[in-house]
Amino acid sequence: QPVLTQSSSASASLGSSVKLTCTLSSGHSSYIIAWHQQQPGKAPRYLMKLEGSGSYNKGSGVPDRFSGSSSGADRYLTISNLQSEDEADYYCETWDSNTRVFGGGTKLTVL
């Protein structure tokens, strides 16, 4: 089954942009993933599904500031015009061989 690798932490300044990465393991570079946001003390929230082509489909109410892109085995989540409420943990997710897999999560700090 695939392994999803994420950096443990990232930081960026208020009003700037940040690009988070989720890397699929070898042999799984074509897989579709989902991105989820978890603000402190809250349940996760679905952000988008992201294909290997870079095409993405956002969830209801997700701001335009959130976008996705892909390159090879890498899946990216870009957040533009960072707001304080974007400080959260971000997880990627995929499904294969009857198993659901999550990345370890990236903790985003807004400076």
Return phi, psi of residue 84, to 5°.
-60, -35
Q: Which is nearer to other proteins, 67 or 106 (CB)?
A: 106
Q: Does 67 bind other proteins (CB under 8 A)?
A: no
Angle subtended at Cα 45 by Cα 51 and Cα 61, rounded to the nearest 5 degrees:
80
Q: Does 63 bind other proteins (CB under 8 A)?
A: no
Q: Does 102 bind other proteins (CB under 8 A)?
A: yes
Give the helix ranges, DSSP H, for the chain: none
> What is the smallest separation between the CB atom of 89 and other proteins, expressed in angstroms?
8
Assigned token pair, 110 = 């807004």
Q: Does 93 bind other proteins (CB under 8 A)?
A: yes
Assigned token pair, 56 = 């993405």
SS3 call for 24: strand
Q: Does 58 bind other proteins (CB under 8 A)?
A: no
Closest to 90 (Cα-Cα) out of 24, 16, 38, 13? 38
Interface positions, 29-48, toward other proteins (CB under 8 A): 32-34, 36, 38, 43-46
> What is the smallest separation between the CB atom of 83 and other proteins, expressed in angstroms?
21
Using CB under 8 A, list all residues that contact other proteins. 32-34, 36, 38, 43-46, 49, 59, 89, 91, 93-95, 98-105
